Chains A and B, each alone.
Chain A
């Protein structure tokens, strides 16, 4: 066994703060959607708006951090070993087969993660943010000349679609966080920063 420091302090803060905000946005958002009643509509809207601006602020820092540290490269997709990952989740994981992907500080996400996170960044996020901003700036549509192109109904459809995708992503993400070397190893790593990985084999790469 070898311990590597994989998630730096800002990254861990970013992850958990983002997790909390997204959960809170889902709770308040689905109340605004009318799915249930918890805070009351007015309070839910207020809190949802505050949480949204907080998350935007967090993202500004996170984006800055990703570009200054070069960590953005972690999300460049690759098809390499995607098949191995799928095979692992379908069979290997049940027979204690070794994980086909070896984490390093330069490649902390397995290829499926890369694709999933890129999907989150490139598809879900724009859908939720753009529609959410349209919602927030509803009163400025006319001034910005957007009122002829936008309808609240479609803005709402996109925002809700984004919300459902996030909820599904969240559930899958939480479950797959248990699919590490041990059920809690990924979660521990996200808390402490340190992940235990199999010792480096001379051949490197896939390992077996």
Chain B
């Protein structure tokens, strides 16, 4: 059942229970408004603002109207990663952010911005000429829409459709009613954040493993905090945002939070409000096993036990992506798509081969919050094994390291065998070098590498890579948390690969057990021989 219809059903039931036709009539008239106004506690009804009671030509046109009241909003957004797609890591000094890193999904936004910036909080980032100082170019609606009707159109560099268009398959696309959306703005929601974050990597659930569209209105079993008919957390309930700067980025993850819950009024400027501990503290367990369970919290991330599996909502997540097989076309030269028995795409001419999965047991790693990326400037040897796109810091003897659940995503991606670097490839676009148009790797790489001023040898090889994603969403109800035996088991436990820690039930001193068994066997043998001899001696008498 879709969330919206459930919401209406509940309303319907209440109206009937109210018992009068008048109520029913009133409800029927008001229902569309009621359904579209989740922020009923707001003191402002934007539909009553003169500034918004007009027609709008474009997104920037709306933004300028927003800024007449929200004077600082755009400048706040300008400072955020959502706008810059750039992040200078304070410790490693690495220049990160979407603009700079290469991953092993779609690999890079460079030269593909018209397509990628569909998820930029701005309008018009098509190439280097984009004006990052323009306040009008900030897209307020993509985060603050409450109608569900606002959509940035693919290939429009972050703009929605302003005029009716037919897409390649002949489907007519309707432009968005900007005035309506503007008059109904509100707080961010799972839908607005999810419009990009659920679809990272090019599709629903592809990238993270713990974020997909099933979190728009989850059941309790999928997410105990976001349960649509329960606590109904939005993303911002945990990623408590101030001045548009959303905390809780994976570029500076908080692997360990040793402090107690954040109290109102307390100075929490050094805290990440999105950690479990920021609400639950470090000794959150109650009841019979509380003490024993609380001893786990010093070195085991809450997520390890409380997120028993990834991609639990029914949407698969991608597990691997092999770019090297891309480009196989149908006999008449058209791109093809291959699906598995469950209808999930496992091959696309544009992208290559994939493996996908759902309801997956994560891998587990020691993690201290330090993440180092492999960047374009790094020299890589194909012979030295799988290249870590990002490496998680962490060791068992480092007290800041915790055992974390992670999704490990395996890639096989374009690589320059002469210059020994990863390659930026120009995939999206209508020009002659775009891979998705011409399926020519060297041309696509030449354009990509030229755009960042890096050398390209003309040869395209493929190199195996691995990217690690911390798993932190889709927290299950406590009764679904891991049982002790999932890890405390001699063989095949979830933490079988975790070294450097003594895990009762899994570990033992084999030499000691050998001595123990020998001692027991010797005692038993002694008793048997001695007892047997006594019996024999007794019989003889």
Per the 8 Å Cβ criterion, residues 132-174 of A in contact with B are 138-139, 151-153, 156-157, 160-161, 163-165, 167-168, 171-172
Q: Which of B483, B508, B533 makes the CB contact (< 8 A) with A94? A: B533
> Are A152 and B501 touching (Cβ within 8 A)?
yes
B488 within 8 Å of A (CB atoms): yes
- With A and B bound together, what is the CA distance between A75 and B488 in angstroms? 40
The residue of chain A having its C-beta at the shortest distance from the C-beta of B483 within the complex is: A42
Within B479-522, the residues touching A (CB, 8 Å) are 483-485, 488-490, 501-502, 504-509, 512-513, 515-516, 519-520, 522
Q: Which residues of A have CB within 8 Å of B289?
A: 42, 46
* Cβ of B295 under 8 Å from chain A: yes
B2 interfacial by beta-carbon distance below 8 Å: no
B281 to chain A, nearest CB (A): 14
Partner of B509 from A32, A138, A160 at Cβ < 8 Å: A160
Asked whether B523 is an interface residue with its Cβ less than 8 Å from the other chain, the reply is yes
Say yes or no: is B54 at the interface (Cβ < 8 Å to chain A): no
Question: Given the complex of chains A and B, what is the CA–CA distance between A41 and B482 in angstroms?
Answer: 12
- Size range of the chain A interface in the assembly: 20 to 34
- Which residues on the A side are within 8 Å of B520 (C-beta)? 164, 167-168, 171
Contact A32/B504 with A45-B484, A168-B520, A172-B527 known, Cβ cut-off 8 Å: yes
Taken together as a complex, chains A and B put the C-alpha atoms of A96 and B541 apart, in Å, by: 9
Q: Are A41 and B505 in contact (CB under 8 A)?
A: yes
Chain A nearest Cβ from B231, distance in angstroms: 28
Q: Does A204 lie at the interface of the complex (its beta carbon under 8 Å from any beta carbon of B)?
A: no
Contact B513 A160 (CB under 8 A): yes
In the complex with contacts A45-B292, A164-B512, A33-B531 CB distance below 8 A: no
CA distance in complex: A164, B490 (Å): 18
Specify the chain A residue showing the minimal Cβ separation from B504: A32
Q: How far is the CA of A93 from the CA of B68 in the complex (A)?
A: 106
CA distance A42 to B504 in the complex (A): 11
| A23 CA to B490 CA, complexed, in Å | 22
Q: Write the chain B residue with the least CB distance to A151.
A: B502
Cβ-based interface call for B294 (8 A) = yes
CB-based closest 6 A-B pairs: A164-B516, A175-B527, A94-B537, A153-B502, A139-B295, A34-B490
* Contact sample, A vs B, 29 pairs, CB 8 Å cutoff: A32-B488, A32-B504, A34-B505, A41-B484, A42-B484, A45-B292, A46-B288, A49-B292, A95-B537, A139-B294, A151-B502, A152-B501, A152-B504, A153-B502, A153-B507, A156-B504, A156-B507, A156-B508, A157-B509, A160-B509, A160-B516, A164-B520, A167-B516, A167-B519, A171-B520, A171-B524, A175-B526, A175-B530, A178-B531
Known contacts A34-B505, A171-B527; can you find 14 more A-B pairs with CB under 8 A?
A: A32-B504, A33-B508, A34-B489, A45-B292, A93-B534, A96-B541, A139-B291, A139-B298, A153-B507, A156-B502, A161-B512, A164-B519, A175-B523, A175-B530
B-contacting residues of A (Cβ < 8 Å)? 32-34, 40-42, 45-46, 49, 89, 93-96, 138-139, 151-153, 156-157, 160-161, 163-165, 167-168, 171-172, 175, 178
